[in-house]
Every structure is written in C-alpha cells, then in structure tokens.
Chain A
Amino acid sequence: MKSSITLAFNKCKKEKRPALITYIVAGDNTKNVSLNILNKISKHADILELGFPHNTPIADGGQIQGSSHRALKNGIKLKDVFQIVKKFKKRNPSKPIILMGYFNLIYQSGENNFLKNCEKSGVDGLIIVDLPYPENKSFAKKCKKKSISFIQLLAPTTTKERMKKIINDSHDMIYYISMLSTTGGKLKVSPKKILENYNKIKSIKPKKNLVIGFGITNKTINALKLADGLVVGSLLCKTISNSIKMRQNPVTKLDKVVYNLKNKIL
C-alpha cells in the first residue's frame, strides 16, 4: 500500500505542480489554535509539518524559536502534540502529517514509546533535525516498521558520496536544505543556483520525492516551483507572531497566507 505522503506527491505530479508543505509549531499559541490552523490550511496545503517544540533548538532561526517559546510557555507537552494530530487526522484521514523536532524529546520519551504514540495518533512522517545519517539508521528502521517515513535531510555541504548513501536509505520523502542557514534565513542563494543543486541531487535517484526548504516565502516560492515539493515554515510562524501582536485571528490570517502561497505555484 502506498503511504499517504507518496499519494500526496502523486496527486501533485498529476496536477503538474509542487506539493505545498507547511510548518507550524504545535501549541503556538494554544492547542486549539494549532488544531484550527491545521484544519483550515489543509484545504490548500498538501502535506503538513507540525513542530514539537524544544527550548534549546540549535538549527532554528528567530521566528521558529519565537513560536516554540510561545508554545512552551503555554505548557505544551508531547501528549498534547499527539492529541492535536489525532484530532486532525480524525477529520482529515488522508492528509499527511509530519512531526518535526529535536532528538532529546524522543530520547527522553523512549524511541519505541514515541513511535507507538506516533502510530496511535496517525503521524505519517518524522523529521529529526539533530539525528543525522548514519547515526539515524536504527531509528529510521524502527520508523519504517511502523510505516512512518523517516525523512532524511540533505544540505549544500553534503558530499555527493554521502548523498548517494543517504538517498539509498531514504523513505518516501527527502528534504533538501536550500542554503547554509538556520530556518527562516533570507534566501542568500539564487533560486537558479538552488534548482541547479536540486537537479543534481534529483538525478541520483529521480523517483525519490525531493522537497526544498529554508528561506521560502511568497516572494521566492514561484521561482522554485519545479521542485517536487516546497516547505514554508518561518513565514507562517511570523504570520502567527504578527497576528497575535495585532490582536487578529491567526487562523484566518494563516488561511489567507497559505492560500496565496498555493496560488503562486499553480
């Protein structure tokens, strides 16, 4: 049986467009707001990433740090994250949802226990920022057994030799980090150059779904639409920050932003 992540990519390919992948932090700024945002934006987005916040993130920029901080201040725990996923999946069973975060939370909860909760709530994939290849091999295997995609990351610094190995061991989706940056950095490489790198990676194993993330906004998304998928995260976190500041409803604001993003890649 094909995973819902693979099915989502297949659908986008038929429509000759990249998959739109969104990222928000679970519990930013409350559990209900997160759930409502996910429900709302899932009309436009193809795959949803949901961050489980950590207070010492070593690869996130200011926007996602801010979102994580708000969520933790509101007392968000892993069990709440799973509850959000569960409730969302109940309404949208075929929409893929990917959890993203740092390894210490999994380490403390225990790998098996964490994966059991992923399975129970309906998580489709995992991105673990600080568990690189090959250290992630055994955990990735455990994910596969539970039909959860472990999403490998590639960076501009990753050597070709290493890329081949990582791609060979990858599951339904691979994430290419567009540039040397934390999340939410300004795009410091031209979209042309990013696509050049992207195509080189793609040619290693063309059938693998390869998405691009980091530095993607409403201004840059159109220029990258040849990719299999595009991830937008910090822009959404920033939108939540601003709507809280302006006392506006983050749910309707996000809906608008994601709708506009989608229109740019159609």
Chain B
Amino acid sequence: MSLKIRKGVPLIDQHDKNFMYGGKFGGNFIPETLKKPIDDLTQLFSKLRKNKSFIKERDYYFRTYIGTPTPFIKLENLTDQLGGAQIYAKVVSEANGGAHKIYNATVHCLIAKKAGKKYIVGDTGAGYAGKMLSMAAKKFGLKCKIFMGAKDIKRQRPNVEAIKKNGAQIVPVTTGSQTLVDAVSECMRYWVSNCDRVHNCIGSTVGPNIFVKICAWSTAQISRELVNQVILEFGKIPKKLKLINCVGGGSSAAGFWNEFMETDAEFIGVEAGGPKNSKLHAAPLTNGSKIGILHGAAQYVIQDKEGQIGSTESISAGLDYPGISPLHCFLKDSKRAKYTSVSDEDALKAYKLVSKLENISPSLEPSHAFAEAIRLAPKLKSSEVIIVNSCGDSLKDKDIIKQRLGYYIR
C-alpha cells in the first residue's frame, strides 16, 4: 500500500496521535523516564513555533550569527565538462561553522534557554553536529557535553579540536562500533539520567518525534532561501528540477526539500554505499532494510533477523548510521522522493572533480550527492536543472582524503 503526503500541512506535522508518519514510521519508543521531558519539550516547541517574537529571534540569529542566506551558485565548469543538465549548488557549507548542523544547534540552544536549562548535550558523528552545538552553546551561555564515538574522534580530528576550543567536554563512546549509532545511544542514556536539568539536542532528524520535528523545522531555512534564489535565477521554479542531497540521518535533505514539497521538483536522496566490494554499507533505504526501532523511532534500519542493529561502514562519518529519519521513510514509501547510494570510491572521485573545477570543496557527505549529480547530468538535456546541497566543507576530512588520495585540495 502506498502512503500519501497531504497538501497544505507541513511534512513534520503529518503524523497520527501516536506521532507515527504513514502509520508506521517514527513515534516515541522511549523509557518511561523520558516521557515527561519529551512531553514538556513537545508542548514548549509547539508554543514557540507559533510565537512571533520567537520566530523573530530565530530569524535574527539565523541572519546575524549563522549568516543566512547562504550562496546559490552555478557550477559552470562542472556543467561544461559533463555536458548535460545545468548544475547548481546551494552552498550551505558557507553557514557559520561550515555545515547545516548550525541551524538545529542554534534552535535547540534557543529552546533550552526558554526551558530554563543551563546544560545542553548532543551526539555527533562527523563532528559537525558537535562542533555547531558547542559553538552555539558558547554563544548562548550554556554548558555543553558532546558524545562522540571513539572511531569518529580519530577520523574527524579538526572538528574534535573545534569542539574542545569552544569549551565543550567531549565524551568518547567506546561501546559497540564506536561510531554515531553508539554516540546517540550514550547521549540518550545520559539524558535519561539527567533529564531534570539537561536539554538534549539530537543532531539529526532521528530519535523520538520531537527531535525529528525540531531538526527539520530548523534546517527548513535552507529551502526557504533556495525557493527565492531559484525564482530569482530562473524567473520561476523550473519544470525539470532535481534536488540532490546526501542522507545519513537525513537532516540536511529534509531542510533542502521542505519548501519544494508541493512543486514538481524531483527529490533524490543519496545514501552511503560503503566501500566497493564490501557487504557493509549505511544505506537502509536503497538496500531494502526492514522497519525496526532504533533510538526511539520506527524506521527502515540495518538489522539482522532477530532485530539486533547491524554494523555499517562508510568513508563519511556523517552518513555512517544504520537508521534513517522517519520523514525519509515516509517520503520513500509515498514515492515523493527517490533514494540511491554511492560508494566510498565514487564519493572520493566526486570530491576530487568538484574541488578541482570549482571554487567549492564539498566534504565527503555531500560528495555522495555530487557523485549522483555527476552520474546523472550527462544523460539530461541542457534545459534541465540539478541543484546539489553542498552541506559541508571538506576541511574536516583533510586527514582521510590525504590518506586515500595522497593529497588534499580545497
């Protein structure tokens, strides 16, 4: 049975009374202890998002602190070289801190202040969510702790240093695979124990429903700007438009697509396919994973028959997650968005090509999206338009890229 997306209702609000999208994704599968804090946060957020002065405050900090709007540029050289569709980039990596994670982090800090909390904690994979949360926490005077897998601490050194510089405490997570999945678990456990005084910021559109909502509501800023920028460039929203975005947890894609939901724009989500010739990947939507429960929400998730969460592998720490936002599960099953995956090797190639030809240098996460754009563009007519969300800067991946290619260009 295919699901339907309703018109005129924000995607994040299209859930039933149990907070399930399409009756089967999302929800709140949480320990009793968290029920009240999550209810409180849900109520507070539903008030704040209707409150004009809160929106004004948000927009003020988005403008003056994050630096919105981020640029929308044509990738002339890449378009010429590939000879097909016109390729554009929304350069979200120009936002303060270098990635889209700053929107969610800023909004969570504003909410924490309204809730009267002095402490904020968060999880991080690529280190961007952690870096941004530590930045925003410093800006808004909150004490901050970041949970990060020990494997990710090693492979995302520049962001780790940034987090420390911002005065936040990094808690290395040494359980399980020592990556994002374990960081989110450990952060939730910490919140269970400290929910009376600590605000939790889940770093993507995953987790109990309220975190999916707050995050997607925050990143929606990307498409609010983009709609205007697209109309300014083309005079209208082009008939044949493809919006390509990488998806790990799915926060940047949710924000990149949100305002285009009721247009003809085609949405393509690109998951991490992992190394070529490896069975491991981080692409539950592409590879037909079954629905399961992870971190408080029902979603397509990499798991074994029994329901133990499976191992993943990806060159990009930010996409290296066995689950995927309930919003994307809903978009997939309602056929509003299509999902595919790109291997580590092809993502690296895309990084190389874009960094060489253009003035931007995407991190390994959006390099997955660029790889798909590079694959598609030559097959399309020059009247067609592709926009890629360049949602992170390669600087954080310097070590990995050097190790894999022998050099680093930016």
Contact = CB atoms under 8 A, between A and B. Distances in A.
A135 to B, nearest CB: 6
A204 interface: no
Contacts of B175: 65, 69
A152 to B, nearest CB: 8
Contacts of A244: none
Interface residues of B, number: 37
A130 B31 contact: yes
Given A56-B309, A182-B193, A130 B293 contact: yes
Contacts, number: 111
A223 interface: no
A72 B308 contact: yes
Interface string B13-48: 000001000000001111111111100000000000
Interface in B151-176: 175-176
B9 to A, nearest CB: 23
11 contacts: A57-B185, A58-B192, A65-B175, A102-B293, A108-B303, A108-B306, A109-B307, A132-B28, A135-B27, A156-B33, A177-B32
B110 interface: no
Contacts of A129: 31
A72 B319 CA distance: 26
A56 B181 contact: yes
Contact of B292 (A60, A65, A104, A162): A104
Interface string B176-198: 10000100010011001111100
Interface string B268-300: 000000000000000000000011111110100
Given A130-B31, A159-B36, 15 more contacts: A56-B308, A58-B192, A59-B33, A59-B189, A65-B175, A78-B306, A105-B307, A108-B303, A108-B305, A108-B306, A130-B296, A132-B30, A155-B31, A162-B36, A180-B193
A54 interface: yes
A182 B195 CA distance: 11
Nearest to B31: A59
Contacts of B181: 56
A208 B34 CA distance: 24
